Structure 1
């Protein structure tokens, strides 16, 4: 099966979901994990996230310190950059064998309603949890054709810096669409994406989002808040 046929086949799998901090195989059109250590079983609760004692990234609590441009294509991001929502940063991009450069900006972190999750039929796995929608803009800032790639590795964080639990959806979820980049996604093209993070209770919010795709690592990526 070629890449385009794989995309079409995966998009027909409506309604399947996976819960987990590292369940990245369900994010895009490629059936292979975007990160070698990031696969997990469908509907398997995360062992990290808002319910765990995992320590968060060591970003400073001061004002954002990154050098990326607000509203522009952004400057080259460095590990640990701390940016404002809407501020763009250029980052290397890898998806399978595809490599390039993107300009990435988290534009908002929107609180959802627990009732949004009812259609996913997850039961106790999401009981008491509140979805937050991490919305981002991605622009092809390089020369590679990034058609049908997916921008994975977007992680929500709680106020104390610990990781929020991910909710990875295969199929349609109207509240937070995370489609693959469209066909013909060449230099200068822009698309919107969304990732779901789960707060452990209504009293705890998801307040920041981290991109930790290569060459970054979780806890040492680029943070927006």
Structure 2
């Protein structure tokens, strides 16, 4: 798969029938382990334990699979242009509100495009304007997100948006679905609190399913994140826009 995409934007397909429905989904959430208390072992015991821990760490490091290319340093965003395989994780960010004001919020997410599933033309048959989709195949792109930080309480900040790409790397048309599709269900982050303290729960997770269309003879084979969910003062400040993070087989 190419490390970079020369994105030729296709016009997003936003016309769907009234019978199409709003995406629904499953929820999972992470938990944080409380820090362990400092012990009162003797110096000799602590030295021996430290040696055992180092040996255990080295053994684990040699056998653990390298599935997270974004984990070079905690809190470091995955670099623009990073090419990942499906299931590999990136650390990304979004924001909302005007920077420098009380309403400004910034969030970071561990995210991974986990699978790209081909549907059939029949999946679109229930749409009012189904004839418009003749010859096109829907592809369902599933993305897992975990909210890793949130600068202040908020339930309105969105996860990063993704694009689908055809075999030649050009963008696939995104299908905006108002309602449920059995083949493509999403979930939400957990929330807590109320009023001004109503907020997404840091550490909670969600699944997103996005529908893209491929013309006859083509296929959606990869996905990307171009930072379009992060507002910048200048267009050029978004280094992901022309050099996105990508996922493919």
Q: 1:205 aligns with which of 216, 219, 241?
A: 219
Correspondence 1:160 to 2:174: no
Structure 1 150/104 Cα, relative in aligned 2: closer, same or farther at 3 Å? same
Equivalence for 2:38: none
Match of residue 122 from structure 1: 129
Equivalent residue, structure 1, for 2:91? 90
Contact 2:86/2:112 (8 A) holds in 1: yes
1:132 to partner: Cα distance: 0.5
Q: CA 1:84–1:174 in structure 2 vs 1: closer, same or farther (change >3 Å)?
A: same
Give the total of aligned pairs: 164
Q: Looking at secondary structure, tell me which structure has more helix per residue.
A: 2
**Cα shift readout 1:63-93 (whole Å, capped 9, x = no counterpart):** xxx9325xxx996212211101000100111
- Alignment partners' CA distance in 2, 1:152 and 1:171: 21
1:68 aligns with 2:70: yes
2:66 is equivalent to residue 43 of structure 1 = no
C-alpha displacement of 1:125: 2.4
In structure 2, the residue matched to 1:221 is: 244
Question: Structure 1 residues 138 and 219, CA, compared in 2 at 3 Å: closer, same or farther?
Answer: same
**For the structure 1 residues 188 and 179, does the alpha-carbon distance in structure 2 shift closer, same or farther, using more than 3 Å as the test?**
closer
- Match of 2:191, SS state, is coil
Q: CA deviation at 1:150?
A: 3.7
Deviates more, 1:169-178 or 1:142-151: 142-151
Provide the TM-score with structure 2 as the length reference: 0.57
Aligned to 1:177: 185
SS of 2:182's partner is coil
Select the structure of larger CA radius of gyration: 2
- Give the unaligned 5+ runs of structure 2: 1-9, 17-67, 98-103, 193-199, 231-237
Q: RCO greater where, 1 or 2, for CA within 8 Å and sep 6 or more?
A: 2
CA deviation profile, 1:23-51 (whole Å, cap 9, x unmatched): 7xxxxxxxxxxxxxxxxxx518xxxxxxx
RMSD: 2.9
